[in-house]
Amino acid sequence: MDTNTKTELEAAAFRRLLQHLSENSEVQNIDLMNLAGFCRNCLSKWYLAEAVEKGLPLDYEGAREIIYGMPYATWKKLYQKELPPEQT
């Protein structure tokens, strides 16, 4: 497989991951962290790190908006639940 095709497939898979996370907003970040060892915030940080490495003008909040599909504060207000005491 050539490099461009591989990159296109990886990008498409990443877009599907973001779509899946968006369609399953009931899954909390803490659940993702406990099960998979990463969450939406981790994806935001990885995205930002890659942008910074390429010299692109992006900050953490901008990266979060890309990953969450909306400003993080909005997502948090709409979807984030209070943690049960045993998870704090």
Query: Tens of pLDDT along 25-38?
Result: 999 999 999 999 99
pLDDT value at residue 88:
61
Residue 17: pLDDT band with limits 50, 70, 90 = very high
Backbone torsions φ then ψ of 38, nearest 5 degrees = -150, 165
Q: Rounded to an integer, what distance in angstroms lies between the CA atom of residue 11 and that of residue 9?
A: 5
Q: Which CATH superfamily is domain 3-79 in?
A: SMc04008-like (1.10.3340.10)
The reply to whether the predicted model has a pTM over 0.75 is: yes
Closest-CA residue to 76 (of 37, 39, 32, 25): 25
| For residue 53, pLDDT beyond 70 | yes
Domain ranges in the chain? Answer: 3-79
DSSP state of 39: -
